[in-house]
């Protein structure tokens, strides 16, 4: 019997549903610890320069590569159907090919959407455990500088964001609710209620300490280490609660825009994307947050786009059928048109001597390189704005599968996060993402 198994067998058996108790009914649920296993299986507000921001967008059904990628690397031109939609912004866009996350094979290629911003391996398979997403790592470092540390947005409720414990963060789908949270000031009673809610959160953190210390004495060394990591995240939450109380008391920014009406019809897919892009722009413009993710899901139905009569998901699995590809083209051109209008808005807003787009790095891509075959290699990735040298199509070697996480490290550094590695990255940055000298 291994020493590790002996260590586990000597510690007290603890159930996953056990809570760290304070006074009364206050409790905090535990992370999964080794001693919870069955013993049989156990052995087995800005005053300086304009701030830097990042926006991370993933289209879950991908893009038809021949309509996006030029035939040769080099200066970007509007010579493919999708680049034509971006023709007014090619000087602020870099297109990458040949990037991927390693070991993304799962029960099907769609599972790679779980790891688009984490790069964790083998999504969807037995034993899979996700890791923190790059946006959440950034939010941990700079999120307290704004009212909202981050925004996790979605068209379906499933966001791209994952906590440090590998837990999915739900995605906000309602532009009207988001508008109210960003800009509508509550009355005195509502503010008091919100502060009381935050303080109840403090009470939970304050009252579990004694029981946590008692429990730690009963654990093996691995579990004690894991519990320390867990409580580090709790301390981070406590800091966020403290900061949040301060933000509740501050007046929210005032904007000329009116509260939007939510588009209830899911078949109006492009209009729903555009409405969320408008909210992203307002959130960035008012410095309400500096880190945003937006997950764009497809439909198992035909979106309301002229000329489209077939369901979107079925079209993405076109099997090289020319008629299906032409119909798919109409959907994806409309997506790129909506994205171009989003860039229009960011570029039209001045911040000192630069634009909001200059200060915002926008990543737009997909977890699938070829949705028709569920292929997660050679991902379509565009980077816009952020103060980089743009206007190029940068083709990495498809056979080398350059880690997409290399790009994440470079972007994180660009918004002021001092990291040299993230996820599956093997270098701090990537060929083709070079900052301007004055950025």
The alpha carbon of residue 157 and the mean position of all alpha carbons in its chain are separated, in whole angstroms, by 13
**pLDDT band at residue 220 under the 50/70/90 scheme:** confident
pLDDT of 36 higher than 60: no
Place of tokens 């080794």: 34
Residues 6+ apart with CB under 8 A from 341: 274, 277
What confidence score (pLDDT) does residue 209 get?
64
**How many residues would you count in the chain?**
439
How many whole angstroms separate alpha carbon 361 and alpha carbon 408? 11
Q: Which residues pair with 168 in a beta bridge?
A: 162
From residue 136, alpha-carbon distances to 133, 149, 164, 227, 422 in Å are: 5, 9, 8, 21, 12
State mean pLDDT over 394-407: 90
The answer to whether residues 295 and 276 touch, using CB atoms and an 8 Å cutoff, is no
User: Who has greater pLDDT, 202 or 419?
Assistant: 419
State mean pLDDT over 155-177: 92
φ and ψ at residue 190, rounded to 5 degrees: -65, -40
Q: Smallest Cα–Cα separation from 291: which of 189, 360, 370?
A: 360
| Four-point Cα dihedral 268, 271, 276, 280, nearest 10 | 160
User: Who has greater pLDDT, 146 or 399?
Assistant: 146
pLDDT of 46 higher than 50: no
3-class secondary-structure state, position 108:
coil
Q: Smallest Cα–Cα separation from 205: which of 247, 241, 169, 249?
A: 241
| Four-point Cα dihedral 348, 351, 353, 359, nearest 10 | -90
Helix, strand and coil content of the chain, in percent to the nearest 5, comes to 40, 15, 45
3-class secondary-structure state, position 76:
coil
What confidence score (pLDDT) does residue 42 get?
35
**Per-residue model confidence as pLDDT tens digits over 275-290:** 999 999 999 999 999 9
3-class secondary-structure state, position 430:
coil
At 247, list the tokens.
Answer: 């933000």
Burial of 102 (0-12, 13-18, 19+ CB in 10 A): middle
At 138, list the tokens.
Answer: 């950034």
**Per-residue model confidence as pLDDT tens digits over 331-348:** 999 999 999 999 999 999
pLDDT of 150 higher than 90: yes
List, in sequence order, the alpha helices (H) in 250-391. 269-285, 312-316, 322-348
How many whole angstroms separate alpha carbon 333 and alpha carbon 336? 5
DSSP element (H, E) containing 179: helix 175-183
Percent of the chain clearing pLDDT 70 (strictly above): 77
Average pLDDT, the chain: 84
Beta strand pairing call for 392-395 and 93-100? parallel
Q: Smallest Cα–Cα separation from 294: which of 135, 89, 130, 118?
A: 135
The answer to whether residues 153 and 181 touch, using CB atoms and an 8 Å cutoff, is no
What confidence score (pLDDT) does residue 14 get?
52
Rg (the chain; Cα; Å): 23
DSSP state letters, 358-378: TTEEEEEE-S-SBGGGTB-SS
State mean pLDDT over 103-119: 84
How many whole angstroms separate alpha carbon 229 and alpha carbon 149? 21
**435 DSSP 8-state letter:** B
Upper half-sphere CA count for residue 289 (Cβ side, 13 Å): 27
pTM greater than 0.85: no
């Amino acid at each position: 019997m291994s020493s590790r198994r002996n260590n586990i067998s000597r510690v007290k058996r603890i159930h996953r549903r056990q809570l760290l108790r304070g006074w009364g009914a206050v409790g905090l649920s535990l992370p999964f610890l080794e001693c919870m296993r069955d013993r049989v299986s156990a052995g087995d507000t800005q005053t300086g320069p304009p701030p830097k921001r990042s926006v991370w967008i993933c289209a879950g059904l991908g893009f038809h590569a021949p309509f996006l990628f030029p035939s040769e690397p080099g200066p970007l031109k509007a010579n493919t159907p999708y680049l034509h939609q971006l023709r007014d912004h090619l000087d602020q866009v870099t297109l990458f090919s040949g990037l991927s996350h390693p070991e993304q094979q799962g029960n099907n290629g769609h599972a790679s959407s779980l790891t688009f911003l984490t790069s964790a391996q083998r999504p969807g398979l037995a034993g899979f455990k996700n890791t923190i997403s790059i946006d959440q790592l950034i939010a941990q470092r700079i999120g307290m500088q704004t009212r909202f540390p981050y925004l996790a947005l979605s068209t379906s409720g499933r966001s791209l964001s994952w906590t440090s414990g590998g837990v999915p963060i739900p995605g906000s789908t309602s532009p009207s609710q988001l508008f109210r949270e960003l800009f509508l000031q509550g009355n005195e009673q509502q503010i008091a209620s919100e502060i009381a809610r935050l303080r109840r959160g403090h009470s939970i953190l304050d009252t579990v300490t004694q029981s946590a210390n008692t429990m730690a004495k009963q654990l093996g060394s691995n579990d004690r280490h894991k519990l320390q990591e867990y409580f580090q995240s709790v301390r981070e939450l406590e800091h966020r609660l403290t900061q949040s109380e301060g933000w509740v008391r501050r007046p929210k920014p005032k904007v000329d825009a009116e509260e939007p009406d939510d588009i209830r019809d899911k078949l109006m897919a492009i209009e729903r994307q555009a409405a969320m892009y408008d909210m992203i722009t307002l959130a960035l413009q008012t410095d309400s947050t500096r880190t945003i993710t937006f997950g764009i899901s497809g439909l198992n139905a035909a979106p309301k786009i002229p000329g489209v009569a077939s369901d979107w998901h079925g079209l993405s699995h076109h099997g090289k059928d020319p008629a299906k590809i032409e119909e798919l083209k109409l959907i994806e051109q409309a997506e790129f048109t909506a994205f171009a209008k989003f860039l229009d808005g960011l570029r039209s807003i001045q911040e000192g001597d630069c634009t909001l787009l200059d200060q915002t790095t926008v990543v737009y891509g997909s977890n699938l390189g070829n949705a028709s075959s569920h292929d997660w290699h050679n991902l379509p990735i565009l980077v816009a704005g952020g103060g980089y040298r743009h206007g190029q199509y940068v083709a990495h070697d498809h056979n080398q599968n350059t880690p997409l996480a290399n790009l994440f490290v470079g972007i994180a550094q660009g918004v002021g996060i001092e990291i040299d590695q993230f996820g599956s990255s093997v270098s701090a940055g990537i060929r083709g993402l070079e900052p301007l000298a004055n950025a």
